[in-house]
């Protein structure tokens, strides 16, 4: 088997890997929201417990939980990913950037990663596995590719 064949075959998996990346990242992202709102799987808020739904942390938790769930199943993927990318950028600059330049030291590395990951997903789309892709196949629409 030549190298070109292996590369072409592996490259053909790119759309499916996009879906897997979206699903796994959304699964992780939902957990940030569920810890803030429900202290599940553990309480991580300062002092334990949950964030008030009207607090900044509560609103962030709701966006993470609901938006992450939308991305997990691949529905309204592009606009939701764009919104969450912005949320993560705001979270980084409000909560981490003031604590030092290096994200790995100021605790903001996950926010930076999620900001750019969701920005990519907003451009790339959900991949072939998700409700958006299913609706596109069912209606035969090729308006929104990805």
| Total domain count, the chain | 1
Q: Could you tell me the residue range of the domain that residue 121 belongs to?
A: 3-139
Residue 94 in any domain: the answer is: yes
pLDDT tens digits for 54-96? 999 999 999 999 999 999 999 999 999 999 999 999 999 999 9
* Of residues 119, 118, 93, the one with CA closest to residue 108: 93
Residue 26 in any domain: the answer is: yes
**What letter does residue 51 receive in the DSSP assignment?**
-
Residue 22 in any domain: the answer is: yes
CA angle in degrees (0–180, nearest 5) for 40-44-49: 70
Task: Look at the block and give the residue holding tokens 């309204």.
Answer: 76
Residue 144 in any domain: the answer is: no
Cα–Cα distance, 33 to 134 (Å, whole number):
27
Residue 59 in any domain: the answer is: yes
Task: State pTM to two decimals.
Answer: 0.89
Residue 106 in any domain: the answer is: yes
Residue 146 in any domain: the answer is: no
């Amino acid at each position: 088997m030549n190298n070109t064949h292996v590369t072409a075959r592996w490259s053909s998996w790119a759309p499916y890997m996009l879906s897997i990346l979206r699903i796994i990242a959304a699964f992780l992202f939902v957990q940030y929201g569920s810890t803030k709102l429900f202290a599940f799987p553990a309480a991580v808020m300062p002092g334990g417990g949950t964030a008030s739904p009207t607090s900044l942390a509560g609103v962030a938790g709701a966006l993470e939980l609901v938006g992450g769930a939308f991305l997990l199943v691949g529905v309204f993927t592009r606009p939701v990913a764009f919104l969450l990318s912005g949320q993560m950028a705001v979270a980084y600059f409000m909560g981490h950037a003031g604590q030092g330049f290096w994200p790995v030291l100021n605790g903001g590395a996950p926010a930076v990663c999620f900001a750019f990951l969701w920005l990519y997903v907003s451009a790339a789309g959900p991949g072939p596995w998700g409700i958006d892709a299913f609706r596109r196949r069912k209606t035969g629409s090729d308006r929104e590719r990805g």
